[in-house]
Chains A and B, each alone.
Chain A
Amino acid sequence: MISKREATLNYLILGVFAIIALFPLLGVLTSALTDPSESSASLTFPSSPHFENFLTAWNEGHFGTYMRSSVLVTVSVVVISSLLAVLAGYAFATMRFRGQSVLFYILLLGLMVPSEALIIPLYYDLRGVGLTDTYWALIFPQVAQSLAFCTFWMRSFFRGIPTSLIEAAKLDGATRWSVLWKILVPISRPALLTMAMLVFMWTWNEFLMPLVMITSENLRTAPLGLAFFQGQHTSQFSLLAAGATIVAAPVVIVYLFLQRHFIAGMLAGAVK
């Protein structure tokens, strides 16, 4: 049993750290609601909430455009990497083939290499084929960077599924392809959801890739748009704060709903 004094101490510690974690974020939220005329370059608390800042940021700050780019890129990356990782993970988990371990170690490289080492050659390669300043320059490299993690994730999940299940389906005449889509993928839904969430977060928050690849303003993703907005609107902090809130919101909302999966996934996916 925990004594009352111990419990109080525990709550006190957790409370202090919760406040430290929350204070800056809540400060941005309250600044975003502050009347632009009262706003200063610091965190402010509004006398009355001004929700129209979000509208102004969305329209005049072009955050609507940035969000559209982010949604397009993020959805594409999540869908394509999940699909490719399901296929590759299935092969690694259930089949034996020549070069299996070599291919596996090559993929492992994808977990280790930081994007800082790839970004410069990638830029010149993509520029060479005319792909810079397009969504493709954001989608394919980020799929490639997510693939290592996703393939490992799916492989280890598929390996945990009892082989008797697969054998039974094969006896019933199921093909390899239908075993995957009719049996394994439906069982893997929780694992797929966690994986998709993590890729969603990594892609949504990515900054270096769009910074280097994108020059057109209407192709900027939300974090890139915010970085530019920050450089230009230091005097209108309430608008900047509204923009920051808009950029952070999608991931934070998904996190609040699926926090258990999020935390478990991020800790399990520690290899990334």
Chain B
Amino acid sequence: MTTTTAVGAPKDAPTAKKKKSRDRSERAAYLYLIPAYVVFGFFLLYPLLHGVWISLYDWDGLTPATWVGIGNYTSAISDPMLLKAFSHSAVLIVFYAVIPILLALLLTGVMTHATKLKRLSFFRVVIFLPQVVASVVVATTWTAIYAPDGVLNKALSLVGLEAVTRPWLGDFAWALPAVGLIGTWVEIGLCLVLFLAGVSQIEPELYEAARLDGASAIREFFAVTLPGLRPQIAVAMTLTVVAGLKSFDLIFVATRGGPGTSTTVPGFEVYHRAFDLNQVGSACAVGILLTVVILIVTTLIQRIDPGERA
């Protein structure tokens, strides 16, 4: 707050008047903010702080809680279950973020001058479509594809690979990559659309200069396209990595963390601990830990693109 003390002002009257109108203007601003902040405070800030508070207790949701301080956190980070959940997240990030981004970059590089194509908007609409379909619908669809008598197994048998067929989501080794591939399917369109939009913003002169210098397609990609796409890559990474870290809906509907615990993720652990195991304090601690991980990862990703303060 900057106090308006008019130094050496000849008269006091205008200053006082100005201050009065300023106060009135401040009051008005708060009136405009109150409705939003009341809802935000009651339904987001308060639960968040309450969650931190609960995470410091051993509580089953019914009987009185006992204070354990950071006990839930120390036991969480040494809990093999939770470490497993986070390691599954790491695998999912490969499928949700790394593969889609690399693939989309490769395709964008190959598709020279793609932005001048006719009917590009048609393809963009179709490729982006998985992003807007409800995750429960996506999970239901892919559960059918991966089913024992599903499309994937039928296709494999058709090409003589019966030996490979299996109930993909019920297989200890394959369930996690199978779920991951659903993520790849969802996120690839997002990355491709982002990068194609990004390429269209790169100045054509840069490409012409590269051509004149006799740069090969590969050199052109690394010298012009890749640096030009830095902001889009940062956005794509933020979106896909966070999607990979969260991924609750897909896991819950497709596998419920199973078979065994082979596809459990932190978001699922939160739900499972609170409502199946009645370890509410521990569930809240896992939720806070997940938040911290997301904050750290997104902050690190923002570093890629110093120009953008997202």
Contacts and interface: CB of A to CB of B under 8 A. Distances in A.
Contact of B36 (A28, A87, A248): A87
Given A17-B189, A87-B33, A116-B290, A251 B40 contact: no
A122 B47 contact: yes
A271 B310 contact: yes
Contacts of A80: 39
B176 to A, nearest CB: 19
Given A122-B47, A244-B141, A144 B40 contact: yes
A4 interface: no
Contacts of A18: 123, 126-127
A171 interface: no
A98 B26 contact: yes
A252 B194 CA distance: 20
Interface stretch (B67-75, B132-140, B221-229): B132-140
B32 A125 contact: no
B144 A96 contact: no
A23 to B, nearest CB: 9
A49 interface: no
Interface string B116-143: 1100110111111111111111001111
A103 B137 contact: no
A81 B41 CA distance: 14
B132 A121 contact: no
Contacts of A20: 185, 188
A107 interface: yes
Given A211-B252, A244-B140, A251 B133 contact: yes
A118 B140 contact: no
Interface in A95-128: 95-98, 103, 106-107, 109-110, 112-114, 116-125
Interface residues of A, number: 94
Interface string B94-129: 000000000000010011111011001101111111
A88 B37 contact: yes
Interface stretch (A6-14, A54-62, A159-167, A184-192): A6-14
A145 B40 CA distance: 8
11 contacts: A10-B113, A88-B32, A98-B26, A117-B288, A121-B54, A147-B40, A151-B36, A205-B135, A244-B140, A255-B125, A259-B124
The 5 closest A-B pairs by CB, nearest first: A144-B43, A117-B287, A91-B32, A88-B36, A121-B51
Given A226-B134, A240-B140, 14 more contacts: A41-B149, A43-B150, A96-B26, A103-B33, A114-B290, A116-B267, A121-B47, A122-B43, A141-B44, A147-B40, A205-B134, A207-B249, A230-B140, A263-B128
Interface of A: 2, 6-7, 9-11, 13-15, 17-18, 20-22, 24-25, 27-28, 31, 40-43, 80, 83-85, 87-88, 90-92, 95-98, 103, 106-107, 109-110, 112-114, 116-125, 140-141, 143-145, 147-148, 151, 176, 201, 204-205, 207-208, 211-212, 222-224, 226-227, 230, 237, 240-241, 244, 247-248, 251-252, 255-256, 259-260, 262-263, 266-267, 270-271
